[in-house]
C-alpha cells in the first residue's frame, strides 16, 4: 500500500529550539518525497523535494530508504515557521499524483 504517515498532529516548540517533523512512507517502487507548507490562510507551497537536497528557509530533509523516512529538520525554529506541514509522496508510475500525510501543525512560541 502507498501511504505517508506523519505521527504528530501538533508540534509546539519555543523560538530557537530545534525542530523535527517526522514523516514515514510506504511505497514499493522508487518514490519522490516532498514537504509542502501551508501558512495561515495561504495556499500549499512546495518547501523541499528530496532529489534537490537543498535547504530552504533553514529546513532540510534527508531521504532514508532503510527507515523509509523523510523527516524535516531545522536547527533553530523561528516564529514565522508556524504553519501546517505536509509530507507527500509521488512515484514515477503514479501519473504525478501526490499522496499526502495527515499534516503536522508546527507552533513556534516566542
Partner 1 sequence: EPEVTQTPSHQVTQMGQEVILRCVPISNHLYFYWYRQILGQKVEFLVSFYNNEISEKSEIFDDQFSVERPDGSNFTLKIRSTKLEDSAMYFCASTLVRVLGNQPQHFGDGTRLSIL
Instruction: Note the residues at the interface with partner 1 (CB under 8 A).
Output: 32, 34, 36, 42-46, 49, 51, 86, 88, 90, 92, 94-103
Nearer to partner 1, 59 or 77 (CB): 59
CA 46 to the chain's CA centroid: 10
Quote the CA–CA distance of 81 and 15 in Å, as a whole number.
9
Least distance CB 76 / partner 1 (angstroms): 26
Return the C-alpha cell found at 60: 532540510
Nearer to partner 1, 42 or 78 (CB): 42
**Which is nearer to partner 1, 15 or 100 (by Cβ)?**
100
Instruction: Tell me which residue has cell 529550539.
Output: 17
Phi, psi (rounded to 5 degrees) for 43:
-80, 165
Amino acid at each position: 500500500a502507498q501511504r505517508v504517515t506523519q505521527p504528530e498532529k501538533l508540534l509546539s516548540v519555543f523560538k530557537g529550539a530545534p525542530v523535527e517533523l517526522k514523516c514515514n512512507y510506504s511505497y514499493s517502487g522508487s518514490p519522490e518525497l516532498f514537504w509542502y507548507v501551508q501558512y495561515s490562510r495561504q495556499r500549499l507551497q512546495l518547501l523541499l523535494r528530496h532529489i534537490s537536497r537543498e535547504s530552504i528557509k533553514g529546513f532540510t530533509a534527508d531521504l532514508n530508504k532503510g527507515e523509509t523516512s523523510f523527516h524535516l529538520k531545522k536547527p533553530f525554529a523561528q516564529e514565522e515557521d508556524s504553519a501546517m506541514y505536509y509530507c507527500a509522496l509521488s512515484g514515477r508510475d503514479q501519473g504525478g499524483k501526490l499522496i499526502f500525510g495527515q499534516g503536522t501543525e508546527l507552533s513556534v512560541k516566542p
